[in-house]
A and B are shown apart, each in its own frame.
Chain A
Amino acid sequence: MVEAKGIKFRYGSDGPEMDFPDFSCAAGERMLLLGNSGTGKTTLLHLLCGLLRTETGNLHVAGCDLRAATDRELDVWRGSQLGIVFQRAHFVQSLTVEENLALPHQLTHGTVPGEVLARMGSMLDRLGIAHRAKARPHELSVGEQQRASIARALLHQPKVVFADEPTSALDDRNAEAFMDILDREAAEATLVVVTHDQRLKDRYSKCVTLEPGKA
């Protein structure tokens, strides 16, 4: 489902070259990409999401050859096959929570069918924020925003979910609770967590460590 082999990347023409380790992650598997600051975690995540392009190696994610795909194909692919949980929960502030959740489907398919809305209702119920569906994002607490960001990443049933530093700002109890929710809601998907948070290093059996200076 996720396969990276011989991936190198350089910002600009004279930036230092980053050399990433090879790894793969099968469908439904969980994996941790662990690394401290400066090890290229964010760069690797953006390469995996097709937001940055590499000219070396093989990079396949959710059935897409990221080196061969056109920009347009990547846009559609991201909207339909990927779910991304960001470190800070960002939303379109002019839309309500439920509108934000439906936005990926709207952007990819041009409409939001009833079945997606029904799935949204039950997901918000499970996450305990159904009563906040009509609220604006800024009206939500930080915890509610994080749960809403999980719902947004998963509502369109992506094949692969990337979580970028999901627990970095949370205490132990909340970090554990957040990861439990993420694991539960992303049960059907491949989950790749990119983090420097050492508390998570033993959570999954599969962990790739990014070495300083290597990338």
Chain B
Amino acid sequence: MKLGLFYQASRNLRAKPLQTALSLALLAFGVGMVSLMLLTEKQVNDAFERNIKDIDLVLGAKGSPLQLILANVYHIDAPTGNILQSEAEKVLKHPYIASGIPLAYGDNHEGYRIVGTEHSYVEHYGVTLSEGKLWEAPYEVTLGARVAENLGMGLGDTFFSAHGLTDQTDIHTDKTFTVVGILEPSGSVVDQLILTPMESIWNVHAHEGEVVDPATREITAMLLKKRNPLAVLTIPNVLRETNMQVALPAIEVNRMTQQFGLGTSALRAIAMLIMALSFASIFISVLDNIRARRHELALMRTMGGTPSTLYRLLLLEGGLLSVAGTVLGLVLSRVGMAVLGQVVESQFHYDLAALAVLPSEWALAAAAVAVGLLASALPARGSLRLDISRTLSEA
């Protein structure tokens, strides 16, 4: 017969389902919220950092610097406009600039952006070919891994592009794109793009028979790598009289996360408050147990139970609640992350579904269990001072 302290503690908890469920729900909700925020922050920060990857400056049309970054580094916003390729190349020749990668886009296929660029873009992110080859001629495309997977496309497949970044109504049926290569998954923004020569983008928007004048060719942005740190101060001055601007991804992302930070701080405070309530609930639960079960506890003392046995039993009840609530909270945060991942995946094509337990979550779990044990250890001390004779006489 299993009748150890663990069994007794679990039976005692199950004997009060409502009280146990309330304590569990509060702790699970608190831990779940904090855990979900930790996971989200980690995933978003990782995604941002992975995609910044040595891009020091982004050159593009004037407008919101943050929009410029979100549109051209992360591809989750509309671009601020176009700039002349010739003007951009002047900036590229500045002695403080080491290199640049041009981007030109404005069309999509099934919601995935078609980006005109050079092979250096793929090399920059260290993405390798899975099959086929990189684009060469106009209208040849190489698909990011997620695009190929989600659209079920393979080598030799063809499609028409649609005007705009998400719209599927204005389709350029006169120009056929052909898949010539598929990239390996990299976890970077490249996974969700359709890459093609710049000429594809220019030609697809040219009228029948029109030859695009090189002097009027436009691009959307240029990702720059600086040679000299002074570029950060000098280049904005160079561009003062033009329709162009440069934005610093690191600074813009930092500014954005600080703005998010206010919201997440408030959410974290709420989560901490819920956790504190759950610990209070465990404290009250154990205290209430001692009061309601005083006679049971005294009875156990007459049957060979020591003060230490009773103390450990009560501590175990609080401990079980804490561990179960914490585990449930971590499970809940994974469910929340999966749901959030679906939304982000459908809207931004980013994959946030990483379910491994973070080091910070282990710390959170350890702290939650420790505080839960403390919340039960304090009232459980009452069992050590239980006056058996008086308790039995009162019954």
CB proximity of A76 to chain B, nearest CB, Å: 6
Check A99 against B3 for contact (C-beta < 8 Å). yes
CB of B294, distance to nearest CB on chain A (Å):
11
Residue of B with least CB distance to A81: B304
The answer to whether the Cβ of A106 comes within 8 Å of any Cβ in the partner chain is yes
26 CB < 8 A contacts A-B: A43-B389, A49-B302, A51-B301, A51-B302, A51-B388, A52-B389, A72-B306, A75-B301, A75-B306, A76-B304, A79-B303, A86-B299, A90-B295, A90-B299, A91-B296, A91-B299, A92-B8, A92-B300, A93-B296, A94-B11, A98-B1, A103-B3, A107-B300, A107-B303, A110-B4, A112-B3
Partner of A107, one of B15, B295, B304, B392: B304
B389 touches A95 (CB 8 A): no
| B:357-395 near A, CB below 8 Å | 388-389, 392-393, 395
In this assembly, does A108 line the interface, its C-beta being within 8 Å of a C-beta of chain B?
yes
- Chain B positions 105 through 137: 1 when the CB is less than 8 Å from some CB of chain A, otherwise 0: 000000000000000000000000000000000
CA of A117 to CA of B303, assembled, Å: 17
Measured CA separation A167–B354 after assembly (Å) = 68
Q: Which residue of A lies closest to B1 (CB)?
A: A112
Say if the beta carbon of A209 comes within 8 Å of chain B: no
In the complex, whether A84 has a CB less than 8 A from a CB of chain B is yes
By the criterion CB–CB under 8 Å, are A103 and B303 in contact?
yes
- With both chains docked as a complex, state the minimum distance between the C-beta of B107 and any C-beta of chain A, in angstroms: 68
Q: Are A94 and B15 in contact (CB under 8 A)?
A: yes
A60 at the binding interface (Cβ < 8 Å)? no
B306 touches A51 (CB 8 A): no
The range of chain B's interface size is: 20 to 34
A92 and B388 form a contact (CB under 8 A): no
Tally chain A residues at the interface, Cβ within 8 Å: 35
CB of B1 within 8 A of CB of A117, answer yes
Question: Taking the nearest CB of chain B, how far is it from the CB of A88, in angstroms?
Answer: 6
| Interface bits A17-56 vs B (CB < 8 Å: 1, else 0) | 0000000000000000000000000110010010110000
Interface flag for B305 (CB, 8 Å)? yes
CB-based nearest B residue for A162: B302
Using a CB–CB cutoff of 8 Å, the interface residues on chain A facing chain B are 42-43, 46, 49, 51-52, 71-72, 75-76, 78-80, 82, 84, 86, 88, 90-95, 98-99, 102-104, 106-108, 110, 112, 117, 152
Distance between Cα atoms of A84 and B392 in the complex (Å) = 12
- Cβ-based interface call for B158 (8 A): no
B12 interface hit (Cβ, 8 Å): yes
Q: Check if B309 is an interface residue, CB within 8 A of chain A.
A: yes
Closest to A106 in B: B3
| B28 vs chain A, min Cβ distance (A) | 23
Chain A CB within 8 A of B175 CB? no
Given contacts A90-B295, A92-B296, A94-B14, contact A104 B392 (CB under 8 A): no
